[in-house]
Amino acid sequence: MSNSYFQPVSGLDLPRFAGIPTFMRLPHIQLNDPKIKDVDIGLIGVPWDSGTTNRSGARHGPRQIRDASSMIRAQNGATGVRPFESANCADLGDIAPNPADLMQTMSRITQFYNDIHSALIKPMTVGGDHLSSFPILRALGKQKPLSMIHFDSHTDLFDAYFGGTKYTHGTPFRRAIEENLLDPTKIVQIGIRGSTYDSEDRDFADSVGIKIYPIEELHARGIEQIMREACEIVGSSSTYISYDIDFVDPTFAPGTGTPEVGGPNSYEAIQVIRELKNVNIVGADLVEVSPPYDHSGNTAFLAASIIFELLCIMTTNET
């Protein structure tokens, strides 16, 4: 049961357009605050896009999503879940990135998540580009490799870019497998599509036993069946959820660096999360929202809605 301190500010007490924006209007708690020991789920911003290979801008994601998340109320309309009543959730602020030093930023991220992990706080990360997931997994997967359910247009399993650069938003899960942070036989990638340079990533996935559901299969067989199979693959193992907003069709989520057409709509984007039944979620991220390409603000609002669904399923699966 959640402590009353950790309730979001109600729009009936302070209108939702007023006040300083935090994720879901939750309290902002820093690591040196004594209240940190009561936090169950920490929402963390990673305002960093130095792993981006084409259209940058995801560094502006956390701030925009904080603002858009003021639209979210306390109760899930479909499931009735009230996540903030079953777990103490808080905005833990942003990682301080060094936009000019990729390696230094990665070690800062890992250090922060090491602290979170030892405090038994489950992280709900808001990116940032998809390279952000890698230094997080270095903290969360260091004792035992994790399973992962990954929603994306892209596998992010490539070896290198630009003739040998190993750390980009197209390589995080290749690196995580090499460092034994993820168990490849318990990785499920859903929504993969679009034109590619070659099939190096898919060949690698096949060689290590990663299960890929291309978008064609998701559309043909339907969310319920695919998600049931995905949940069976990870079983009761400790599982990380990684959600790249470019999983969603660019009609609904144009504000991202590497859009691919033919994706799920915004309803399907939240429905896949509701189907993560009984998955033992140890952490999640929502990445690649790029506000400079998000002219309507709808991408950030969809991202906030997906994060809310993730919080609902994380708190439900725990109890």
Using an 8 Å Cβ cutoff, are 146 and 239 in contact? yes
Binders of Mn ion among 128-157, rule CB under 5 A? Answer: 130, 152-154, 156
Among residues 49 and 309, whose Cβ is nearest to Mn ion? 49
Instruction: Kindly list the distances between the CA atom of residue 248 and the CA atoms of 45, 154, 197, 251, 288, in Å, as whole numbers in the listed order.
Output: 21, 12, 21, 8, 11
88: contact with Mn ion by CB under 5 A: no
Amino acid at 310: L
Using an 8 Å Cβ cutoff, are 156 and 175 in contact? no
Size, binding site for Mn ion by CB under 5 A: 7
Q: What would the two tokens of residue 258 be?
A: 């590497």
Angle at CA of residue 117, ends 211 and 170, nearest 5°? 40
Stretch that binds Mn ion, among 35-43, 46-54, 91-99, 237-245 (CB under 5 A): 237-245
Single residue of 244, 249, 285, 309 touching Mn ion by CB under 5 A: 244
Among residues 52 and 69, whose Cβ is nearest to Mn ion? 52
Single residue of 49, 246, 249, 309 touching Mn ion by CB under 5 A: 246
Least Å distance, CB 156 to Mn ion, is 4
Q: Is 37 helix (H, G, I), strand (E, B) or coil?
A: helix
Among residues 145 and 263, whose Cβ is nearest to Mn ion? 263
Stretch that binds Mn ion, among 24-32, 223-231, 238-246, 299-307 (CB under 5 A): 238-246
Sign of the alpha-carbon torsion through 314, 155, 219, 127: positive
Least Å distance, CB 215 to Mn ion, is 12
DSSP string of 185-218?
EEEEEEEE-S--S-SHHHHHHHHHT-EEEEHHHH
Taking alpha carbons only, the member of 74, 100, 73, 99 closest to residue 87 is 74
Taking alpha carbons only, the member of 309, 290, 312, 313 closest to residue 300 is 290
309: contact with Mn ion by CB under 5 A: no
Using an 8 Å Cβ cutoff, are 264 and 275 in contact? no
Least Å distance, CB 258 to Mn ion, is 5
Least Å distance, CB 212 to Mn ion, is 13
285: contact with Mn ion by CB under 5 A: no
Least Å distance, CB 247 to Mn ion, is 7
Stretch that binds Mn ion, among 54-62, 126-134, 233-241, 297-305 (CB under 5 A): 126-134
Among residues 125 and 315, whose Cβ is nearest to Mn ion? 125
Least Å distance, CB 164 to Mn ion, is 20
DSSP string of 279-290?
-EEEEEEEE-B-
Among residues 60 and 130, whose Cβ is nearest to Mn ion? 130
Least Å distance, CB 129 to Mn ion, is 8
Sites of contact with Mn ion (CB under 5 A): 130, 152-154, 156, 244, 246
